[in-house]
């Protein structure tokens, strides 16, 4: 009886301590680890949400760029941080979606090493072809590719990333065979697409829309759930005859595993309020991002579905983890 009483008192004391901690959180600056370089979409999202959180939480929120290894360096640093809510992480469709299937001996587990806070935003990719390709619709491109098995080349910023796997997913659903040409970044791939060495590629919205508007490429579709506000006249792949196709570059906020639930709830509420700020929406809209928000549980379910989806694609194309 005495042991039971002591155990109950210990649990009660821990609960009171946790609640008291949550009520005073945050009492000092918060850091957000961004696993990619300054200036990119992930960095823009990290800095914009940091500004919003700072205003909502009443404490400075700073960005720490930890770059390298497809986001692994930043992810590991965040996963190993103290689970007190003062170190957060902007995870992406690569770090928390495709890496588990494409990275050998990954040093972190997205499901076990992080507490989901909220899905921040997402953007589709745009399917573009060079002006020498006669196709003006997705169906015309599929017909064009089927008539040239292994003679249609597509480029990506690198093997194993979201764009690579998204293109392979489309090839599987369309029943076509294309040759993958990986590059070190999008710029050299786009150069070869414009030069005619590549026939097609998926690209991030801002750069693809710029090339489309300049008349340098032809846009066939976007890969997300809905049309992009940056290109409202370009149909989705769902509209083009692939109702199950959905691939977006997404970003979400996480805390290290075992961060107190009350702290997670405080952060989640602050994120959802931040995502409604006009100044944030203006920044996100300019780069083609659609805001999401939601609960930690919804993010956990979304991440699990993404990991499962890309694991199936990796297996189907016999991609060897590196």
Contacts of 208 (CB under 8 A, 6+ apart): 125, 126, 128, 217, 219
Per-residue pLDDT band for 10 (boundaries 50, 70, 90) equals: very low
State the chain's mean pLDDT as an integer: 93
Adjacent-strand bridge partners of 157: none
In this predicted model, what pLDDT tens digit does every residue of 212-250 receive, in sequence order?
999 999 999 999 999 999 999 999 999 999 998 999 999
Length of the chain: 322
Check whether 6 has a pLDDT greater than 60: no
Phi, psi of 24 (to 5 degrees): -95, -5
What average pLDDT does range 69-78 have in this prediction?
A: 95
The residue that leads in pLDDT, 8 or 90, is 90
Question: What pTM was estimated for this model as a whole?
Answer: 0.89
Per-residue pLDDT band for 12 (boundaries 50, 70, 90) equals: very low
State residue 116's pLDDT score: 98
State residue 8's pLDDT score: 52
Q: In sequence order, what DSSP letters do the residues of 69-103 get, joined into one string?
A: GGGHHHHHHHHTS-SSSSEEEEEETIIIIIHHHHS
Percentage of the chain beyond pLDDT 90 is: 87
Strand duo 248-256 + 153-156: pairing:
unpaired
Check whether 13 has a pLDDT greater than 50: no
Task: List C-alpha distances in Å: 42 to 46, 109, 202, 207.
Answer: 6, 20, 18, 15
In this predicted model, what pLDDT tens digit does every residue of 126-179 receive, in sequence order?
999 999 999 999 999 999 999 998 899 999 998 999 999 999 999 999 999 999
Cα 256 from Cα 61, distance rounded (Å): 16
State residue 23's pLDDT score: 75
């Amino acid at each position: 009886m005495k042991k039971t009483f002591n155990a109950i008192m210990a649990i009660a004391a821990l609960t009171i301590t946790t609640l008291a901690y949550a009520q005073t959180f945050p009492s000092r600056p918060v850091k957000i680890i961004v696993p990619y370089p300054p200036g990119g979409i992930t960095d823009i999202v990290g800095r914009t949400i940091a500004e919003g959180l700072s205003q909502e939480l009443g404490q400075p929120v700073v960005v720490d760029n930890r770059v390298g290894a497809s986001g692994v360096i930043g992810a590991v640093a965040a996963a190993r941080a103290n689970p007190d809510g003062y170190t957060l992480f902007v995870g992406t469709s690569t770090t928390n979606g495709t890496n588990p299937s494409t990275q050998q001996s990954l040093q972190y587990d997205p499901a076990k090493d992080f507490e989901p806070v909220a899905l921040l935003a997402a953007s589709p990719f745009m399917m573009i072809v060079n002006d020498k390709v006669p196709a003006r619709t997705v169906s015309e491109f599929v017909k064009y590719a089927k008539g040239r098995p292994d003679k249609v080349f597509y480029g990506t910023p690198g093997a194993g990333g979201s764009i690579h796997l998204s293109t392979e997913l489309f090839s599987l659903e369309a029943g076509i065979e294309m040759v993958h040409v990986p590059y070190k970044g999008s710029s050299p791939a786009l150069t070869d697409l414009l030069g005619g060495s590549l026939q097609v590629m998926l690209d991030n919205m801002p750069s693809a829309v710029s090339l489309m508007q300049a008349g340098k490429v032809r846009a066939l579709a976007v890969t997300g759930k809905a049309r992009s506000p940056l290109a409202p006249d370009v149909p989705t792949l769902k509209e083009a005859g692939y109702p199950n196709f959905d691939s977006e570059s997404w970003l979400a906020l996480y805390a290290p595993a075992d961060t107190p639930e009350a702290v997670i709830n405080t952060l989640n509420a602050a994120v959802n309020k931040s995502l409604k700020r006009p100044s944030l929406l203006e920044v996100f809209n300019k780069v083609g991002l659609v805001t999401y928000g939601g609960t930690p549980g919804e993010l956990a379910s979304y991440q699990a579905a993404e990991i499962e989806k890309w694991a199936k694609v990796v297996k189907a194309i016999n991609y060897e983890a590196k």
